[in-house]
Amino acid sequence: MAHFRLSDAPIDAVALQSGLRDPRAGACASFEGWVRDHNDGRAVDGLRYEAYVSLAEAEGAAILAEALERFDIVQATCVHRVGELAIGDLAVWVGASAAHRGPAFEACRWIIDEVKARVPIWKHERYAGGDAGWLHPGP
């Protein structure tokens, strides 16, 4: 089973990881992406994520379905925030469970890379000094 969703509320990583538990799984790998205080040598004060919701949800679901086919995993989940975020906030969470750690790690890395490349989510960073800029896509 795979789940992708956008959230305008804080991400509960513990609950998401718990949702990946399965008797067939002996491993879980996860990735957390946090809002950092800098980008390309500039101080960042905060950011806002915006998404084309229906397309983002459809493409995110397609990525997770592909991950289930490509990797020997049991389950996968990805939640990406939208809206205003502060420095240190959890912006995206990806998790994959599998019988063994290798496929869980590989799937988790592949999912976040594909989400960043394919899902229509845009980041509007606010910089120290008052200016701002849009970013997408990017690793």
pLDDT per position as a tens digit, 19-43: 999 999 999 999 999 999 999 999 9
Average confidence score pLDDT of the chain = 95
Domain edges within the chain: 2-135
Q: What is the CATH number of domain 2-135?
A: 3.90.1170.40
C-beta of residue 76 within 8 angstroms of C-beta of residue 51: no
Q: What is the pTM of this model?
A: 0.94
Sign of CA dihedral 56, 139, 36, 109: positive
Task: Tell me whether residue 128 is exposed, middle or buried, using C-beta atoms within 10 angstroms of its C-beta: 0 to 12, 13 to 18, 19 or more.
Answer: exposed
Q: Using CA atoms, how far apart are residues 101 and 104, in angstroms rounded to an integer?
A: 5
88 φψ region: left (φ > 0), alpha (ψ -120 to 50), beta (else): left
Contacts of 66 (CB under 8 A, 6+ apart): 114
